[in-house]
Each structure stands twice: as C-alpha cells, then as structure tokens.
C-alpha cells in the first residue's frame, strides 16, 4: 500500500487543478494501535478531493492530537483504529478534544468501530459533530456536508437522531438486573 501511495502521490499533486484547499484535516491512528493502511487510504482520498492533510501517524496519544488540532486550526479530526483497545482510546481522545474546547467534526473509522459504539460511547462525550465512517470513501462527502453552511445543521440533526435512536434501541434491548437477581436466576446444572 505504501509503495502504491508513493507512486500515485506525484500524479495526484500534478492533477490538482486549483490552489483552493477544501479544508484542513488531521488524521491519526490512536495510541495503542499501529495499523495505518486504512488511515493512509483515507488521507489519499481526502488529498484527491482537495483537502490539506496533517497525518500524525500511528500510536498517537490524545494529548498530541489535541495539541495539533488546536495549533493547526483543523476543520476536522479523523481517528483510525483497527484493534479493540482503539475503541476506548477514541473515547479518551473525544473527551480530551471536548475538554480543550475543540468543536469541529470528529470522525471515527476502523474495523472495530461501529455506529452503535459511536452512539453509545463517543458522541455522548463530545460536543461537536461525531461521524462514524464505514470506509475511507465516505470521508470527503461527510466533511463536505459538515463544512457546507447549507447542509451542516441538517446533517448534524440526522446524525444526532440516528445516534439517539440507536441508544434507545440498545437500552430497550439490554435489561440490567441486580447481582442478587442475576444470582437467583442462575442456571443450576447439578
């Protein structure tokens, strides 16, 4: 993948027809995760669509993501992760961005991420728009909608309604009981 990107990058730069930048995006694979193929594809797709990319690489701690996002005045942060521990680290990054007063779009992607995890764990701790992306092809379209004054509010409403519905469905399906009640209902095999 890296060799293919290295070969394609000069052609991508050559094909850019204008000096207008669609926006500035920070990409990072969260702390604890070394996987970067998805992040690299996302960066390539975004660059092809006129975005200025700041790629922090892999194993990036929340503090560094927050620092660069604020210093560089990025329009969006895209977090990537492939392994399960990345899920909790994305929540940690969302909290850190929120505490720092960053409110621009936060996008999460990777094999272990899901709409449900985004709705239950990430969106509730972050004040700005949170978007779960199934694959790199969705990044540019989602950011374009969020950066468009005509589409931003409606898209955020759609996202929030979808996350609210997922949370309500999840809560209605998961019935929590006390430890005593659970023990009283245990299966007696002997």
Whole-number Å distance between alpha carbons of 178 and 151: 45
* Cβ–Cβ under 8 Å, residues 36 and 20: no
Among residues 35, 52, 92, 152, the one annotated as catalytic is: 35
Q: Number of helices (H) and strands (E), helices first, in the chain?
A: 8, 5
Neighbours of 85 (CB within 10 A): 13
1, 74, 65: which is closest to 33 by C-alpha? Answer: 65
Among residues 80, 86, 109, 140, the one annotated as catalytic is: 86
Q: Per residue, what are the HEC states of 134-179?
A: CCHHHHHHHHHHHHCCCCHHHHHHHHHHHHHHHHHHHHHHCCCCCH
Let me know if 52 is a catalytic residue. Answer: no
Tokens standing for residue 97: 């961005």
Let me know if 33 is a catalytic residue. Answer: yes
Let me know if 18 is a catalytic residue. Answer: no
Whole-number Å distance between alpha carbons of 188 and 190: 6
- Angle CA(3)–CA(112)–CA(62) in degrees, nearest 5? 80
DSSP string covering 110-122, please?
Answer: STT--HHHIIIII
Among residues 33, 36, 55, 75, the one annotated as catalytic is: 33
Q: Which residues are catalytic?
A: 33, 35, 86
């Amino acid at each position: 993948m890296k060799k293919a990107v290295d070969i394609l990058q000069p052609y991508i730069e050559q094909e850019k027809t204008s000096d207008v930048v669609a926006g500035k995006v920070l990409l990072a694979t969260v702390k604890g995760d070394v996987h970067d193929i998805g992040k690299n594809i996302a960066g390539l797709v975004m660059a092809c669509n006129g975005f200025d990319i700041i790629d922090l690489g892999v194993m990036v701690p929340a503090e560094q993501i927050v620092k660069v996002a604020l210093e560089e005045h990025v329009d969006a942060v895209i977090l990537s992760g492939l392994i399960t521990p990345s899920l909790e680290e994305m929540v940690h990054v969302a909290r850190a961005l929120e505490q720092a007063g960053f409110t621009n779009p936060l996008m999460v992607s990777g094999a272990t991420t899901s709409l449900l995890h985004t709705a239950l764990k990430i969106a509730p701790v972050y004040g700005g728009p949170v978007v779960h992306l199934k694959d790199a092809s969705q990044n540019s379209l989602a950011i374009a909608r969020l950066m468009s004054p005509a589409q931003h509010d409606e898209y955020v409403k759609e996202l929030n309604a979808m996350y609210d519905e997922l949370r309500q469905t999840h809560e209605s399906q998961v019935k929590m009981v006390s430890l005593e009640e659970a023990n009283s209902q245990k299966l007696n095999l002997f």
